[in-house]
Amino acid sequence: MRLVIATALALALTGGVCAPAQAEDVVFTGKTMSPDHTEVMSPHATETDLKIFDNMVKELKARQGDDAEPPVGPFKGRMKVTKVLADIGQQVKEEQALLEYAYPLEDLISERRKLSQVDLRSTEASLESLRADIADLRRKLEETRRRKDMGAASDQELTDLESEIRVDRLKEQAIDDRLRLERDMSAGDLELARAKFGLKTDSHHLPGTSWVTSPVSGYVLWTNPEVKPGVILTKSTKLFIVGPLDPILIRAWVYEKLVSRLRVGDKAQVAFQGVPGKTFEATVSRIPMTAIKFETQLPTQFEVELTLPNPGLLLKEGMRGQCTVSVPDGPR
């Protein structure tokens, strides 16, 4: 009887072994951001693209020889911005035009000159003229042979005509080789022009306008302030950042003392200064295994991510929010 009373008294004094653990609030601050930032670049080739292309050409020549026709090279030219068609916060669809650009007039003139095939036509005319001269020389040679048989022409005349024909035949071969090379180069120029201006491009149709489009659907989160109508771009340039906003992420730097209390799946109540009087529920979606920085003299922090539904897009990227996670007071 005394043992039962003592046990009951101990339970009463300690609050009972079955009493639930009290909750502890883990509080930290984070900022909202899109879960997926897609950078929209100008159509210029990057340094990596150029290196890859150079390696492709080297491999092709190693397999097929120096005369192998190279693949279409990446774009390295100039583009002039004519219109910026999207602004920050604007919703865009995949393949929607974000920026209009044109090629500078001097570049278009150069392209038209290459596509006009003036040099190619001139070489063809030179070859036809030389072949006509060779045909005349052969007729003269036959006539001289007949005259020699009649004693009216000398051996030297025959020798001179035969030598002249041999020289012209060598010239014919050289021009013919150059003509084949120019035809290959002309075909390559046309292929490059069609890659830049479209498949309908030819010497008579060279559209000077094109567009940069969005690779994904979402919202414009950033625009390059230096890219304005009239600006000429000569290298790979970041133009826009596009990404979704529903759901939206919260990223927070949480001290190690607090992050050890958190688990993926924990619910958090988030309050934003920009949305007074309203609380949002987020879910802890990522807790990294490594800290942001390793400074022995400073407290360690981890970048924790929370996912937050944002169907009405009330929350914008970059909003500061206080996150409160209620966790059990004790081992987890």
Q: 270-285 pLDDT, tens per residue?
A: 999 999 999 999 999 9
CB of 252 closer than 8 Å to CB of 323: yes
C-alpha to C-alpha distance for 28 and 1, rounded to whole angstroms: 52
Q: What is the identity of the amino acid at 59?
A: E
pLDDT of residue 328 exceeding 50, the answer is yes
3-state SS assignment for residue 77: coil
DSSP bridge partners of 322: 29, 271
C-alpha to C-alpha distance for 322 and 279, rounded to whole angstroms: 10
**Which residue reads 């490594």 in tokens?**
290
The region of weakest confidence among 134-138, 153-157, 179-183, 204-208 is 204-208
Q: Give the pLDDT band (50/70/90) at residue 186.
A: confident
What pLDDT is attached to residue 13? 42
What pLDDT is attached to residue 71? 62
What pLDDT is attached to residue 199? 64
Cβ neighbour number for residue 212 with a 10 Å cutoff:
22
C-alpha to C-alpha distance for 49 and 234, rounded to whole angstroms: 15
253-to-35, 105, 235, 250, 257 alpha-carbon distances in Å: 17, 51, 36, 10, 12
C-alpha to C-alpha distance for 81 and 304, rounded to whole angstroms: 40
Q: Give the pLDDT band (50/70/90) at residue 164.
A: very high
CB of 44 closer than 8 Å to CB of 238: no
204-to-99, 111, 113, 186 alpha-carbon distances in Å: 26, 11, 11, 15
**Which residue reads 């639930």 in tokens?**
20
C-alpha to C-alpha distance for 87 and 220, rounded to whole angstroms: 6
C-alpha to C-alpha distance for 136 and 263, rounded to whole angstroms: 95
In percent, the amount of the chain with pLDDT more than 70 equals: 84
